[in-house]
A and B are shown apart, each in its own frame.
Chain A
Amino acid sequence: MENALILLIEDETQMLRFLRITLKGHGYKLVEAVTGKEGLMQAAMRNPDVILLDLGLPDMDGLGVIQQLRSWSDVSIIVISAREQEEDKIRALDTGADDYLTKPFSAGELLARIRVALRHKLFVSQGQKEHTFTVYDLKVDLSTRQVFINDVEIHLTPIEYNLLAVLIKNAGKVVTHSQLLKEVWGINYANQTQYLRVYMAQLRRKLESDPARPKFLINEPAIGYRLKLNE
């Protein structure tokens, strides 16, 4: 995805300067907006590949921006927030954001997240044709529901498989606990995180070589899980 178009909705000059230099230096095209309204307008007109959205905007709440965007666009949204409160991130993710970055962050982290977002877009567009998903030593055949580690088939229970499938569908992105619970168990189980944790632990033991230092089934404490893609 060379020359991907990134929409930057951010009102702080210092941050803008840093992001502009970094992103342009890495070959991305950039559209800037300093208010939520302007951002929405730019998103509609320019159809960017990724949106970097600061949650603290002068004119409207970042969550509002996500909500409006999601009503007509599937564009990848990466939230940038100085807020450390996990609730804000969870709300942003549940509202439709794809990922988040907490200030301060390094250029490396930022670029990694952008790459994930772009790759995810590619994955979704090609997902219809390709029936296998591969990351590290994990290979999943989505049509036959078979899971292999180093080409050895691993037996998963239906719940474990469904869990993995939801994470694969959102590969690279953070999936919140409640999103996972809703998709796997249904809306009534959205708060029963202990079920999720038990199955995730089982999944890690079956798929990860060192469950305490997982390579791709990453825990985002208090928020959710992420299926990490190869760098």
Chain B
Amino acid sequence: MDDQRPSPEALLAQVKMEEARKTQGNLKVFFGAAPGVGKTYAMLEAARQKQSEGVEVVVAVVETHKRKETEKLLEGLEVLQKTRIEYRGAVLYELDIDEALRRKPSLILVDELAHTNAPESRHKKRWQDVFELLEAGIDVYTTLNVQHLESLSDVVAQITGVTIRETVPDFVIERADEVALVDLPPDELLQRLKEGKVYIPELADQARGNFFRKGNLLALRELALRRTAERVDEQIQDYRVVKGVKEVWPVSERILVSISSNPRSIRLIRAAKRMAAGLRAEWMAVNVEAPSKVKPTKADLAKLAAHIRLAEELGAETITLTGQRASDEILRYATSRNVTKIIIGKPAHPRWKDVLFGSMLDEIVRGSGNIDVYVISGDRGQPIPEPVTKLKKQNTMITKDIPMTVATVAVCTVVAHFMDPYVARADLAMVYLIGVVFMATRSEKLSSFLTALLGVLAFDFFFVPPRYTFEVSSTSYLITFFVMLVLAFVISKLTLRVKDQVDSARERQQTTASLYNLSRKLVNKQSMEQVCALVISHIAEILSCRAVVLLPDEYGVLESKITTQDTFELDQKEYSVAKWCYDHKQRAGFATDTLSGAKAMYLPLVASAKTIGVIGVIMSPTQEFLEQRQMHILESFANQSAMAIERVLLADEAQQALLKAETETLRNTLLSSISHDLRTPLAAITGAASTILQKDITLDYNENQELLLTIYEEAEHLNQIIRNVLNMTRIEAGAITVKKQWQPIEEIIGAALNRMAEKLGNRAVDITLPEDLPMVFFDPLLIEQVLMNLLDNAIKYTPPEMPIELSSKAENDSVVVHVRDRGPGLIAGEEQRIFDKFVRSTSKGGGIGLGLTICRAIVTAHGGKISAQNRHGGGAEFSFTLPVINQPDMTQAPE
């Protein structure tokens, strides 16, 4: 059932996309392998078809290149005037976007999607014009060749040896609602070329010759076909996701893509996605955090987060590894996960860096073993614009450090001045190095460089002859300066690195410590309230914010179990965000992609089986957003909390299950026991009654009476069993509520004896009741039942001539009642056991063995105790107590 239902996330994405698309126009791309396959022709034919259907069609740009067949198709179609743009003496005609928008037809034709607009046009690229038209709700037909597709341009360049400058980003064709492949076998294309029917504007004659070789055309055609096939495949996948069809094919390939905060990662991610889709492989995006590296800036972290999210959106599993060497970590992880292909970016840095610091690419390739390594150029990724505010912040930091830098250099100069008479001049440079180290330990990279530079200048000015000028008398000082600068550079770099390592180590240690702390404390928290309180106080403390843990009640309404100064109230809007988060298992609210207008951020608490709740976090007003590290802590906290909460839930469930099982066992024992005990009297009744009813037997009066007495007595017996069983089940099920009333104990003794009168017959009952017995607070019916059961036992187990003694007295804070007999007494060791369920005295057959159990249950429910023991001189004594607390106020009793 479940596998037929699409996940809510998928549906939501679909709905969002459809919402956005609803107002936009449709994009249809006529896709071909090479110029001349007939894309424009096909487009015009399709447009005419539409026009004949009554659709309002306007041609914005169509390059007929004077081909007769094509021009013929243009007849009868409205063609927009192009705008005329003069640029450096040349006159260029471009699509008039304003006119097109003003005209606003239902369908517009824009040829050559990859075209680059003339400078000073509104958009640089024609596809941007097309997007604007789509945005305005106009349907667009356009044409595109495979070599213009960005992700394939490098491949095409490799195949044909021709570099294509005009490219279209992949997402343009991904955005297309329809892609119509216009296919022509290479031989026919070459034939058309010979006939001069193909116009290739952008290539020189020789290039044209290179391009239009059969081998190339075959390769391009394959590319175009494959790209189209991939698209169809994606659509099928989408369809499957939307319709809830699970993947049925086995996954044989695993692809790993290495990503970082570098904008090129975007392309790597897309490439990995394409490859994964093509191979139907699982794929994962891995980022390696190296503690040795300089601490990333906030902007970098934000970019990295964006990349990770992109990868997740495209279906990757994202993993963050930590290690000194990225290559080692990636390879180790790849091996552990049986990755078959690794995708990494082409290095963009200069080669000397590789020589100096080693090349990650080289190391991965060398260490990859069986794993294929794909190196992909990523130099055309679209960088995310950097937030300007952050840059400003950095600048102010440097300017803030400048006085400090100057002061440091000044102090160094003074110290050097005093040392000057005693040491060699070159040694004075060392003093400035100390200054550099000092600055490096306290501030940013730039200021330590600045210190080095200022130090060199000061050294030159104050100490290098000729003094108090920047002139240098001897060239050997130039070497000193150079060494000083290099040393300062290296020292500051190393110091900074150490500092960063210490910082990140401290942060990590803090994170680990706080996590450990939380998990240790969570272990011994048993109640849900305790767990929630602990989680909230921890989050509030570590992230200096307020938090709330929301758990669903039995109706699925999220509610906070506790309220402290660290929690916050949810209004209707916030609640709906939290609910969305809970329902969709995704974070939502502030600083997330979903419902980011909310005041708080909500993280789902995902336990092994399902979402079990939501953590809401509200940042203090001074805090903009959580850093990556803090986000990790929060996530780890959420995980820990989810586990703890689940543990509590499971413990509750287990308790319930145990209780249920116990009840079940009791019921089963009860049933088997009852069925035996019920059948015995029934058998006697049936037998006696059927004997009386028999016609061929003559019974005398006495015999008749005896049989009838049997029937009567056994029926009474049955009634007693049923009453006990009913009471027992009611007590067990909690259906009997103890209705306590103030009353004298003698009253209930009298009632019990009255009820038992028939059974007691002539048996003597000695009653000892002091006059001053206090009133007791108890349920009369239940205590009457206790007395009746005890009396019944005494009657059953003792000879009729033996008296029964009944007494009561006040004892400390209770009233104790004794029922004594002079019967055979209890078997030694049975004194406690006889109160257990279904235990019958082994001495003589009797009831079902529930009587005493009920007595104990009732007395316990009153806060009293019941016990049994043998008496001196033979017989049994049963005693129970009822607590006497707070005598009722009788002063108001009106006379």
Verify if A220 is at the interface (C-beta below 8 Å from B). Answer: yes
A222 to B737 alpha-carbon distance, docked (Å): 13
Interface of chain A: mostly helix, strand, loop or mixed = mixed
Once A219-B750, A221-B784, A222-B739 are accepted as A-B contacts, the answer to whether A213 and B888 lie under 8 Å apart by CB is no
Query: Shortest beta-carbon distance, A111 to chain B, in Å?
Result: 15
Cα distance, A222 to B894, chains bound together (Å): 23
**Interface size on A (CB < 8 Å)?**
29
Q: How far is A104 from B888 in the complex, measured between Cα atoms in Å?
A: 37
Q: Is the CB of B890 within 8 A of A194?
A: yes
Answer whether residue A84 sits at the interface, using C-beta atoms and an 8 A cutoff: yes
Let me know if B771 is at the binding interface, CB within 8 A.
Answer: yes
Asked if B470 CB lies within 8 Å of chain A CBs, one says no
Chain B contacts for A214, CB-based, 8 A = 750, 754
Q: Which residue of B lies closest to A103 (CB)?
A: B719
Q: Are A220 and B747 in contact (CB under 8 A)?
A: no
The answer to whether A212 and B890 touch across the interface, beta carbons within 8 angstroms, is no
B434: interface (CB < 8 Å)? no
Is A136 an interface position by the 8 A CB rule?
no
Contact status A212-B769, CB under 8 Å:
yes
Contact, CB under 8 Å: A212 / B743: no
Residues in B with CB closer than 8 Å to A201 are 744, 746-747
**B77 close to chain A: CB less than 8 A:** no
Taking the complex as formed, is B712 at the interface, i.e. its CB lies under 8 A from any CB of chain A?
Answer: yes
Asked whether B543 is an interface residue with its Cβ less than 8 Å from the other chain, the reply is no
B877-891, CB < 8 A from A? 888, 890
Most chain B beta-carbon neighbours within 10 Å: one of A200, A218, A221: A221
Q: Is the CB of B767 within 8 A of A220?
A: no
Write out the residue numbers on chain B whose beta carbons fall within 8 Å of the beta carbon of A198. Answer: 775, 890, 893
Interface check A159, CB cutoff 8 A:
yes
For residue A86, CB closer than 8 A to chain B, the reply is yes
B775 contacts across to A, CB distance below 8 A: 194, 197-198
**Is residue B38 within 8 Å, beta carbon to beta carbon, of the partner chain?**
no
> Nearest chain-A residue to B742 (Cβ)?
A194
Number of interchain pairs (Cβ within 8 Å): 77
Task: List residues of B (722-777) whose CB comes within 8 Å of A's CBs.
Answer: 723, 726, 739, 741-744, 746-751, 753-754, 765, 767, 769, 771, 775
Contacts known (A159-B895, A194-B742, A213-B767); A221 close to B719, Cβ less than 8 A: no
Contact across chains for A205 and B890 when beta carbons are under 8 A apart = no
Instruction: List A contacts of B15 (CB < 8 A).
Output: none
State the CA gap A213–B784 with chains docked (Å): 14
Known: A194-B775, A205-B771, A222-B739. A213 touches B753 (CB 8 A): yes
A212 touches B742 (CB 8 A): no
A109 to chain B, nearest CB (A): 10
Contact: A221 with B715, CB < 8 Å?
no
Quick check: is A2 within 8 A (CB to CB) of the other chain?
no
**A211 / chain B contacts, CB cutoff of 8 Å:** 746, 750, 769
The answer to whether B749 and A222 have CB atoms under 8 Å apart is: no
Give the Cβ gap from B634 to chain A, nearest Cβ, in Å: 56
A213 engages B719 (CB within 8 Å): no
A185 to B890, CA, bound (A): 14
Taken residue by residue from 763 to 803, chain B's Cβ proximity to chain A (1 for < 8 Å, 0 otherwise) reads as: 00101010100010001110010000000000000000000
Q: Which residues of B contact A195 (CB under 8 A)?
A: 890, 893-894
- Closest Cβ neighbor of A218 among chain B residues: B754
Alpha-carbon separation in the docked complex, A204 to B745 (Å): 13
Cβ of A157 < 8 Å from any Cβ of B? yes
Give the residue of A185, A205, A210, A219 whose beta carbon is less than 8 angstroms from that of B748: A219
Cβ of A194 and Cβ of B743 under 8 Å apart?
yes
In angstroms, how far is the closest chain A Cβ from the Cβ of B605?
46
Known: A84-B726, A104-B719. A197 touches B747 (CB 8 A): yes
- Residue-wise, chain A 110-151 has the 8 Å CB interface mask toward B (1 for contact) of 000000000000000000000000000000000000000000
Residues of A within 8 A of B726 (CB): 84
| A86 CA / B753 CA spacing, docked (Å) | 19
Q: Which chain A residues border B753 with CB–CB below 8 Å?
A: 212-213
Contact of B750 among A104, A197, A205, A212 (CB under 8 A): A212
**Alpha-carbon distance A86/B784, docked complex (angstroms):** 13
Interface centre among A205, A212, A219 (most CB of B within 10 A): A212
B744 A221 Cβ-Cβ under 8 A: no
CB of A135 to closest CB in B, whole Å? 16
A71 contacts the other chain (Cβ, under 8 Å)? no
Which of B739, B741, B753, B893 has the most chain A CB atoms inside 10 A of its CB?
Answer: B893
Residue A193 is within 8 A (CB to CB) of chain B in the complex = yes
A222 to B743, CA, bound (A): 10
Asked if A212 and B781 make an inter-chain contact with CB atoms under 8 angstroms apart, the answer reads: no
Cβ of A13 within 8 Å of any chain B Cβ, yes or no, is no
Note all chain A residues with C-beta closer than 8 A to B895. 157-159
Name the interface residues of A168-220: CB closer than 8 Å to any CB of B: 185, 189, 192-195, 197-198, 200-201, 204-205, 210-214, 218-220
Report the Cα distance A219→B895, complex, angstroms.
22
- Is A14 positioned at the interface, with any CB of B under 8 Å from its CB? no
B682 to chain A minimum Cβ distance, whole angstroms, is 14
Chain A nearest CB: distance from B877 CB in Å?
19
**Does A106 lie at the interface of the complex (its beta carbon under 8 Å from any beta carbon of B)?**
yes
Q: How far is the CA of A4 from the CA of B715 in the complex (A)?
A: 30
From the candidates A185, A197, A200, A222, name the one contacting B781 in the complex (CB within 8 A): A222
Whether the pair B784, A212 counts as a contact (CB closer than 8 A) is no
- Complex Cα–Cα for A197 and B775 (A): 9
Chain B 672-699: CB-based contact to A (< 8 A → 1; otherwise 0): 0000000000000000000000000000
Contacts of A200 in B (CB 8 A): 747
User: Contact: A185 with B894, CB < 8 Å?
Assistant: yes
Contact with A along B861-891 (1 / 0, CB 8 A): 0000000000000000000000000001010
CB distance from B791 to the nearest CB of A (A): 13
Selected from B715, B751, B890, the residue in CB contact (under 8 A) with A219 is B751
Give the distance in Å from the alpha carbon of A212 to the alpha carbon of B751 in the complex.
Answer: 9
Chain B residues with CB below 8 A from A197, complex form: 741-744, 747, 775
Q: How far is the CA of A198 from the CA of B893 in the complex (A)?
A: 10
Minimum CB–CB distance for B860 against chain A, Å: 20
Q: Which residues from chain B contact A213 at a C-beta distance below 8 Å?
A: 750, 753-754, 765, 767
**Complex CA–CA separation, A205 to B771 (angstroms):** 9
**Inter-chain contacts of B747 with A (CB < 8 A):** 197, 200-201, 219, 221
Q: Which of A157, A189, A221 contacts B780 (CB 8 A)?
A: A221
Report the minimal beta-carbon distance from B734 to chain A, rounded to whole angstroms. 16
Which of B781, B888, B893, B894 interacts with A221 by CB under 8 Å? B781
Per the 8 Å Cβ criterion, residues 75-92 of A in contact with B are 84, 86
In the complex, chain A residues whose CB is within 8 Å of the CB of B806: 212
A103→B547 CA distance, assembly (Å): 62
The interface residues of chain A lying within 8 Å CB-to-CB of B751 are 218-221
Tell me which residues across on chain A come within 8 A of B744, comparing CB atoms: 197, 201
CA distance A84 to B754 in the complex (A): 18
Assess the A86–B781 pair: CB atoms within 8 A: yes
Q: For window 51-102 of chain A, which residues contact chain B by CB distance below 8 Å?
A: 84, 86
Which residues does chain A contribute within 8 Å of B754, judged by CB atoms? 213-214, 218-219
State the Cβ distance, B826 to closest chain A Cβ, in Å.
26
Q: Which residues on B sit within 8 Å (CB–CB) of A205?
A: 771
Cβ-defined contact, A194 with B741, below 8 A: yes
A145 CB, nearest partner CB in chain B, Å: 16
Judge whether A212 and B780 touch: CB under 8 Å.
no
Q: A84: which B residues are within 8 A, CB to CB?
A: 723, 726
**Which residues of chain A come closer than 8 Å to B742, judged between CB atoms?**
193-194, 197
Measured between beta carbons, the chain A residues less than 8 angstroms from B890 are 194-195, 198
Minimum distance in angstroms from A53 CB to a CB of chain B: 22
Chain A residue nearest to B718 in the complex (CB): A104
Which A residues touch B888, using CB under 8 A?
194
Cα A211 to Cα B750 with chains together (Å): 8
**Which residue of chain B has its CB nearest to the CB of A225?**
B747
- Rounded to whole Å, the gap between the CB of A5 and the closest CB of chain B is 29
Given contacts A212-B753, A220-B751, 5 further A-B pairs with CB under 8 A are: A106-B712, A159-B895, A197-B742, A218-B754, A219-B754
Top 4 A-B pairs ranked by shortest CB distance?
A: A221-B780, A194-B742, A219-B751, A212-B767
A-B contact pairs, 8 of them (CB 8 A): A106-B712, A195-B890, A198-B893, A212-B806, A213-B767, A219-B751, A221-B780, A222-B781
